A and B are shown apart, each in its own frame.
Chain A
Amino acid sequence: MELLSLAAKDILRRKAKSLYLLAAIVIPVAILSTILLTLDNADSSLSTLASKFGFTMSVQPKNVKVERIDQIGIVIGEYIPESIIATVESAVRSRIRNDREPIIIAPRLYLRTDIRAGKSPVNSVVAGVDFQAELAAKPSWKVTSGRWPAGESEAVLGGTYARANNFSEKDGITINGREFRVVGVLQDYNASEDYMVFVPFRVLQSLSSREGFLSLVNVQNVSLDRDRNLLSSLVADLNGKVPNIKALAPQQFSTMKYMLLKKTFKFLFSIIAATVFISIFAIFNIVTSVLFSRVREIGLLKAVGASRSQLLAVFLSEYAALGLAAGIVGYPAGMVITYLLDSLVLNLGAGVRVSPAVILIAVASGLLCSLTASFYPTYQLSKIKITDSFRTQWEV
């Protein structure tokens, strides 16, 4: 039998009190894990959304409100002159060092209209796009069946849109009186594009009588992707100098959102710090009351030869074990709370991932809480006089 097994046997003997103490440590650990996991999920969710968008920057009409990152790139009913393409390209070109570096400019025109396919009309969002530029910017954009449009009268459908309306490749559809053949159905991306119909940009301009206008321009450039400061200055410059447009960078937007979330959590962290402090105080009280009820036991251990350091080793290892267990229990508890918080309130949609860093922090904070709270009472009681310990159960 060794010192640690003595500690283990004490934990097992006082099951109810040990569980009570464990619960007191689990609470701050679970709350801390929840905050860290939610921040991690928020970061991951916003980055996923930003990368799903596929472009570095989007320029759209000024009076279109964008409150969420997944709203970037969708503009219906508002238009800007096509001359913006040259303005944007020139602004980007003036900032990047390599003249040969490609700048992908992908204009889009959106139109809400009824689409006929021999049945009743389906109110739909039609996107006029430059397929070549879109595919160059978003290599991950794929058709699950069929191919990409090659002619002016060919269209592809968003995956969800095709399924919802029972459309498939080779079907014929009519948009504003013009016949199109569906040549492909897009893969689902869990984005608004899953619900759209895509036709060539110039064709939609003509069909909607919006020649010389577009809904937005998406831009992609490697240098801007790499250098956030460069991107920020370009966005600020365009917004400041070109009237009636709004330049938005999804990465910047996601960072902004993340920072906002982080700021909110900073505030929450101060509440957590207070919670942890109160928890430590509660643990301190529990430990003190448990230890004082064991005064005679401490006296007996000292009488048979336990030194103060050996007593500290026995009792602190007991509380360290509970802190460790609380860390191990607190992390999954935090995962469950994070999942519920996301499902019911935040809707970040990134799912709850296992984070080794948060596991480490959870275990370390469990240990820290239990050892911080138990050290002082343990130290004080290790100094108790043996004869005093036998005289009284509750007073030192």
Chain B
Amino acid sequence: MNAFIQTQALKKTYQLGDQRVEALRGIELTIAQSDFVVFMGHSGSGKTTLISTIGGLTRPTEGSVSIEGTDIWRLNDRELSAFRNRKIGFMFQSFSLLPSLNVLQNVVMPVIFRKNGKREKTDAIRERALSLLAGLEMKKKIDAHPSELSGGEQRRVAIARALINEPDIILADEPTGELDIRTEREVIEIFRAINSQYRKTIIVVSHSLSWLESAKTVIIMKDGLMHLDVPDPVEALMGRACRP
């Protein structure tokens, strides 16, 4: 497998008072380009910590994260910010949108932090944002503010924003959390389309079993360790044994 994203001996330890919590315990992971990876696991299993570390949001205690050959944790703040801005689109469970901006402004927001953002014509950025919003059936609501949108609509806007800088990787932490089943289905379909049409590498963290049939790779996280090729993820999540 071509190593598009690779982690080596990745460890993350949190100090909570007197207690040391090992959130990641030497993760060795390789993800190919255009893969659709879903991390599943119980709360506290380390899945969010893992994608935060891969996304350049949480610095690991030990080990490395390499994306397209770049060891991202060797970059300084400015370089890492620029790397995130250019290479990774993020989607979070809640508070994904800035309440002061409308839908269109939220979508184009990452562009203002891009180093060459000013060079790209405003019209071109707007056209790309409108095209993304049209594809997500949100074009009619471009002037609405986040408070005027439903949970599903907010997720669509967050997806459009994650795609605006045309990143190679989409990282999503519980993108369907708190959504009803129908809206969850719609969001998963959007992710599947992004993966197949735009060939983006998708990494999702979720509790929801609905993602299982869409993912190309399912990784179960448990006690800071990951479990690949689990024959029955549902069984594994229910607490049955799985192979590390």
Contacts and interface: CB of A to CB of B under 8 A. Distances in A.
Contacts of A300: 92, 95-96, 98
Given A300-B95, A304-B161, A305-B84, A387 B52 contact: yes
B54 to A, nearest CB: 12
A318 to B, nearest CB: 11
B78 A386 contact: no
Interface residues of A, number: 25
Interface in B74-123: 77-78, 81-82, 84-86, 90, 92, 95-96, 98-101, 105, 108-114, 118
Contacts of A49: none
Contacts of B90: 303-304
A291 B49 CA distance: 25
Given A296-B95, A385-B58, A386-B57, A6 B109 contact: yes
Interface string A1-33: 111001001101100000000000000000000
Contacts of A297: 95, 98
Nearest to B101: A9
Contact of B113 (A13, A305, A386): A305
Given A1-B105, A3-B112, A9-B100, A307 B92 contact: no
A297 B84 CA distance: 17
A361 interface: no
Contact of B81 (A12, A296, A310, A387): A310
Interface string A283-300: 000000000000011001
Contact of B100 (A10, A305, A307): A10
A108 interface: no
A303 B84 contact: yes
A296 B108 CA distance: 19
B100 A12 contact: yes
A3 B77 CA distance: 18
Nearest to A393: B95
Interface residues of B, number: 33
Interface in A280-332: 296-297, 300-310
A386 B58 contact: yes
B99 to A, nearest CB: 7
A303 B77 contact: no
Nearest to A391: B48
Contacts of A304: 84-85, 90, 109-110, 113, 161
B81 A307 contact: yes
A304 B90 CA distance: 7
Contacts of A6: 100-101, 109, 112
Contacts of B105: 1, 9
Contacts of B165: 305
Contacts of B109: 1, 6, 304
B92 A390 contact: yes
Contacts of A305: 81-82, 84-86, 110, 113-114, 165
A385 B52 CA distance: 11
Contact of B52 (A9, A10, A386): A386
A350 to B, nearest CB: 46
Interface string A228-264: 0000000000000000000000000000000000000
A308 B80 CA distance: 11
A301 B111 CA distance: 11
B113 A306 contact: yes
Contacts of A303: 55, 57, 84, 90, 92
Interface string A79-106: 0000000000000000000000000000
A390 B96 CA distance: 10
Contact of B57 (A2, A308, A310, A387): A387
Contact of B78 (A3, A296, A309): A309
Contacts of B58: 385-387
A390 B91 CA distance: 12
Nearest to A9: B100
Contacts of B82: 305, 307
Given A6-B109, A390-B95, 6 more contacts: A13-B100, A304-B85, A304-B110, A305-B81, A307-B77, A386-B58
20 contacts: A1-B105, A3-B112, A12-B100, A13-B99, A297-B98, A301-B113, A303-B55, A303-B57, A304-B84, A305-B81, A305-B85, A305-B114, A306-B85, A307-B78, A308-B81, A385-B59, A386-B52, A386-B58, A387-B58, A390-B95
- Cβ-closest 10 pairs across A and B: A305-B85, A307-B81, A13-B100, A304-B110, A386-B57, A305-B113, A9-B100, A306-B113, A307-B78, A296-B95
